[in-house]
């Protein structure tokens, strides 16, 4: 029976080759794109789901009321984790982390900088259950000067040797490897080395200690006992804060518990410093999932519509089968089998298309999808469900209708299908839906591109081009800065040299600032630490006063940005000479700079204080002349080795580093363009198929009309007019929908383009023009046919 059904399906496909290709090709493209998107989306939602009982694990965020609004920071004070375990019985375990910044690692003769290094409490593996290949999770981080490394790090630097009990030097501290982690699922905590928290000592010159309730720089995670309720614990925080912190702190500070499974996708407006890896975006991810559903919807609607239309050619075949004794169920199952078979072939072809193009797609979106045969086998149950659903969707109506035809009616080849399905409201709705989606995707893609172009071209208030940043360990900077600056300044490729602690990526710290002698509560300002000549090197505009001068005579002076002056409520003419206390030092304001973007354009420019710190300066900024960058870097490396041969030459290109903040937005733009193109192809294929079937069904009518004098234009209008009207209706509906969704997305940027009305209009017109072309091409072809041949067609 199955073989017979298969032969009939293949014979039917050969008879209607063009429409079978449209059906299979359209579904294959829909499957390929939807599988790619859904795999990407499932990967985004898989972060931190591998931990034991992940619903009991939370990140603790600090919520602070500031003069500019609520600030949520993904960090806490060093005393918080141990105090929570002592005071709140629902907390089973808590762990503090401290990012070690870009530290110098020494293994034997090898020296290199690593950014993925954290100090962690001994409770780390109780709270965050990363699996261990070697070591006891309860003790690996218990002793001072011990460390856990990842399998990848061990393989990279120790090869086939057993790394356990080997010693490595981390930030000038000798530590012993006590454990090795196994590769695991995705996590927002991306580390190569975990050093026991007992090893950590506060940086020199930082005016805080581990007994401070004011040092908010320690990402903190807790595991709740089974049955505990996070909301009830959050209700205890105000009393907890009043118990341990000042009355002033209690009035403006609170804590919130963020489920660890939400951290990666739902932290867009949370300040994440201290080495947290790049985050995703929940809205973008849901938007992509919706795009996959819409594209698959277009493909399925095409399949269902064309399959239904093709079934009209099988009325007489059905009548003969019924006359020869075939049951209604036998005919019903034949049509359902053919539809499911077509869907299965399409899925297989879609997977082949996806695997062939996966590398190019990964390069376009700058992300690894990791789609392998094993992945597809894992998803096999889902694929089966999708094939069955798609097959039933395409075959259910023809199967019910044709299996219910009376044999005598079918044998007369009466067009009972049209008489019964004369209401074409469903077909009209499908066409409107397809081109509505197409218009919205075109508008979204073009608007995202314009916003990304705006970001790339916007004046950031500093010149990021031509800046090479070298990493110099903190303890070496004071000693090496002068000789390095003198040497590099003599390089013909170098325009300016200075140093800073920060990288224009939103990872700078915050500090309390108060006017000397004032009784008002201190303000919390973002902080940019630098050496003299930094403002000049970066091209930041000074609007008042002066900058820091050489030698380091201004180590107790401050420079503010315009946003800070506004927040403090000062009159501009009175700013210079004002005395402030901040970062454990008191001094005068010597200058004001024009606001510049030291964080992403997603955030408004915050109040900023600039100062010369007594320690923690690690980045040497070098402005180079335009030209051959590779030769320039080689000359810088030569100068570096002549002064600091004992240190690795480790550099970043600043504009590339800053552009990483928009990686997620760029990825969205690329995906939008790719799948916008696919939706256009699918919608036009479907419309072409429908108009072709209509033209064939009316072949004799067209011939008669031509003999009676109808012009080509009239016949074309007869065939395509209704469809073109539907497309324009879809375009009109798409205008307000596009406006709503784009305005919502653009509001995520503090600095954005105005609503692109021209793009909205051009996108709906583009979708309409494409549809008109698809319809008119087939209509004109039918109108040009020889009327004699048309009359003979039946």
pLDDT digits 0-9 by tens, 184-195: 888 999 899 999
Task: Give the mean pLDDT of the chain.
Answer: 82
Distance CA 249, CA 271 (A): 19
pLDDT digits 0-9 by tens, 253-280: 899 999 999 999 888 778 776 555 667 7
Nearest alpha carbon to residue 301 among 445, 435, 443: 435
CA atoms within 13 A on the CB side of 759: 20
CA atoms within 13 A on the CB side of 175: 30
pLDDT digits 0-9 by tens, 356-397: 887 777 776 666 777 778 888 888 898 999 899 888 887 787
Partners of 179 in the beta sheet? 148
What is the average per-residue pLDDT within 738-760? 83
CA distances from 221 to 72, 123, 785 (A): 15, 10, 74
Q: Give CA angle at 74 (72, 76), nearest 5°.
A: 100
Partners of 468 in the beta sheet? 622, 653
pLDDT at 179: 94
User: Residue 403: is its pLDDT beyond 90?
Assistant: no
pLDDT at 773: 74
Look at residue 620 and give its three-state secondary structure. strand
User: Residue 770: is its pLDDT beyond 80?
Assistant: no
3-state secondary structure 7-40: HHHHHHHHHCHHHHHHHHHHHHHHHHHHHHHHHH
pLDDT digits 0-9 by tens, 57-102: 999 999 988 766 788 888 899 999 999 999 999 999 999 999 887 7
User: Residue 416: is its pLDDT beyond 70?
Assistant: no
Residue recorded with tokens 């900058």: 547
Partners of 593 in the beta sheet? 542, 561
Nearest alpha carbon to residue 489 among 385, 625, 355: 625
Look at residue 168 and give its three-state secondary structure. strand
Tokens for 545, please give them: 């006063």
Nearest alpha carbon to residue 611 among 632, 591, 634: 591
pLDDT at 421: 42
Which region among 193-197, 327-331, 752-756 has the lowest average model confidence (pLDDT)? 327-331
pLDDT digits 0-9 by tens, 31-48: 988 888 888 888 889 999
Reported as a pLDDT band with limits 50, 70 and 90, residue 419 is very low
Partners of 558 in the beta sheet? 589, 611
User: Residue 417: is its pLDDT beyond 50?
Assistant: no
Partners of 496 in the beta sheet? 623
Distance CA 606, CA 505 (A): 13
What is the average per-residue pLDDT within 684-697? 69
Which region among 13-22, 111-120, 421-430, 627-636 has the lowest average model confidence (pLDDT)? 421-430
The CA-based diameter of the chain, rounded to the nearest angstrom, is: 105
Which region among 179-193, 314-328, 405-419 has the lowest average model confidence (pLDDT)? 405-419
Tokens for 458, please give them: 């916007």
pLDDT digits 0-9 by tens, 585-622: 888 999 999 999 988 887 788 899 999 887 778 899 99
User: Residue 557: is its pLDDT beyond 80?
Assistant: yes
Highest mean pLDDT among 113-117, 214-218, 405-409, 467-471: 467-471
Pair 507, 277: CB distance under 8 Å: no
Look at residue 523 and give its three-state secondary structure. strand
Look at residue 424 and give its three-state secondary structure. coil
pLDDT at 498: 93
Q: For the chain, how many residues are written? A: 794
Reported as a pLDDT band with limits 50, 70 and 90, residue 312 is low
Model's pTM, two decimal places?
0.80
pLDDT at 432: 81
Q: Give CA angle at 199 (195, 201), nearest 5°.
A: 120
């Amino acid at each position: 029976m199955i073989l017979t059904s298969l032969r009939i399906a293949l014979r039917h496909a050969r008879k209607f080759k063009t429409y079978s290709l449209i059906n299979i090709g359209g579904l294959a493209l829909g499957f390929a794109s939807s599988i790619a998107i859904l795999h990407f989306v499932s990967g985004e939602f898989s972060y931190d789901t591998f931990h034991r009982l992940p619903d009991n694990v939370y990140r603790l965020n600090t919520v602070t009321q500031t003069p500019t609004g609520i600030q949520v920071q993904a960090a806490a004070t060093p005393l918080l984790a141990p105090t929570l375990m002592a005071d709140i019985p629902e907390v089973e375990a808590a762990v503090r982390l401290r990012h070690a910044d870009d530290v110098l690692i020494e293994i034997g003769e090898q020296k290199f900088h690593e950014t993925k290094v954290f100090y962690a409490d001994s409770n780390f593996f109780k709270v965050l259950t990363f699996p261990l290949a070697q070591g006891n999770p309860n003790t690996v981080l218990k002793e001072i000067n011990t460390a856990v490394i990842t399998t990848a790090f061990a393989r990279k630097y120790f090869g086939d040797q057993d790394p356990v009990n080997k010693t490595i030097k981390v930030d000038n501290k000798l530590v012993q490897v006590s454990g090795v982690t196994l590769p695991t699922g995705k996590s927002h905590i991306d580390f190569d080395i975990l050093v026991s928290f007992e090893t950590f000592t506060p940086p020199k010159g930082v005016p805080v200690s581990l007994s401070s309730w004011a040092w908010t720089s320690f990402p903190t995670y807790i595991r709740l006992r089974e049955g505990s309720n996070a909301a009830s614990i959050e209700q205890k925080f105000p009393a907890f804060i009043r118990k341990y912190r000042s009355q002033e702190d209690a009035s403006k500070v609170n804590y919130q518990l963020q489920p660890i499974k939400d951290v990666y996708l739902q932290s867009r407006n949370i300040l994440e410093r201290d080495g947290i890896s790049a985050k995703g975006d929940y809205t973008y991810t849901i938007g992509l999932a919706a795009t996959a559903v819409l594209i698959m919807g277009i493909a399925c609607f095409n399949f269902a519509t064309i399959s239904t239309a093709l079934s009209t050619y099988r009325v007489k075949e059905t009548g003969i089968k019924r006359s020869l004794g075939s049951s209604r169920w036998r005919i019903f199952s034949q049509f359902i089998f053919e539809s499911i078979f077509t869907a299965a072939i399409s899925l297989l072809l879609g997977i082949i298309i996806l695997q062939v193009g996966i590398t190019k797609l990964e390069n376009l979106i700058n992300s690894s999808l990791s789609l392998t045969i094993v992945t597809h086998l894992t998803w096999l149950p889902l694929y089966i469900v999708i094939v069955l659903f798609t097959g039933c969707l395409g075959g259910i109506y023809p199967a019910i209708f044709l299996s219910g035809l009376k044999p005598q009616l079918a044998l007369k080849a009466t067009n009972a299908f049209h008489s019964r399905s004369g209401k074409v409201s469903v077909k009209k709705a499908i066409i409107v839906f397809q081109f509505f989606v197409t218009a919205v995707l075109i508008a979204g893609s073009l608007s995202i591109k314009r916003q990304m172009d705006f970001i790339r071209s916007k004046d950031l208030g500093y010149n990021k081009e031509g800046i090479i940043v070298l990493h110099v360990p903190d303890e070496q900077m004071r000693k090496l800065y002068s000789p390095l600056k003198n040497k590099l300044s003599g390089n013909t490729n170098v325009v300016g040299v200075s140093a800073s602690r920060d990288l224009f990526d939103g990872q700078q710290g915050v500090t309390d600032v108060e006017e000397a002698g004032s009784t008002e509560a201190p303000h919390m300002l973002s902080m940019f630490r630098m050496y003299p000549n930094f403002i000049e090197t970066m091209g930041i505009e000074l609007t008042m006063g002066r900058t820091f001068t050489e030698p380091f005579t201004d180590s107790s002076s401050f420079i503010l940005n315009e946003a800070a002056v506004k927040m403090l409520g000062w009159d501009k003419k009175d700013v210079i000479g004002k005395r402030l206390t901040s970062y454990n030092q008191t001094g005068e304001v010597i200058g004001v700079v024009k606001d510049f973007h030291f964080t992403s354009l997603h955030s408004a420019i915050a109040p900023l204080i600039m100062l010369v710190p007594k320690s923690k300066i690690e980045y040497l900024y070098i402005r180079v002349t335009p030209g051959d960058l590779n030769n320039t870097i080689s000359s810088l490396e030569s100068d570096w080795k002549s002064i600091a041969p004992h240190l690795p030459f480790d550099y970043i290109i600043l504009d590339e580093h800053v552009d990483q903040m928009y990686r997620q937005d760029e990825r969205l733009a690329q995906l939008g363009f790719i799948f916008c193109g696919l939706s256009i192809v699918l919608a036009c294929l479907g419309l072409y198929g429908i108009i072709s079937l209509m033209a064939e069904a009316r072949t004799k009518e067209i011939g008669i009309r031509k003999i009676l004098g109808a012009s080509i234009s009239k016949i074309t209008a007869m065939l395509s007019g209704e469809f073109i009207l539907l497309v324009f209706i879809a375009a009109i509906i798409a205008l307000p929908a596009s406006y709503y969704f784009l305005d919502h997305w653009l509001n995520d940027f503090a600095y954005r383009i105005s609503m692109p009305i021209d793009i909205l209009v051009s996108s709906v017109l583009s979708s309409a023009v494409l549809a008109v072309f698809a319809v008119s091409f087939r209509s004109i072809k039918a109108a040009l046919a020889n009327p004699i041949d048309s009359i003979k067609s039946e």
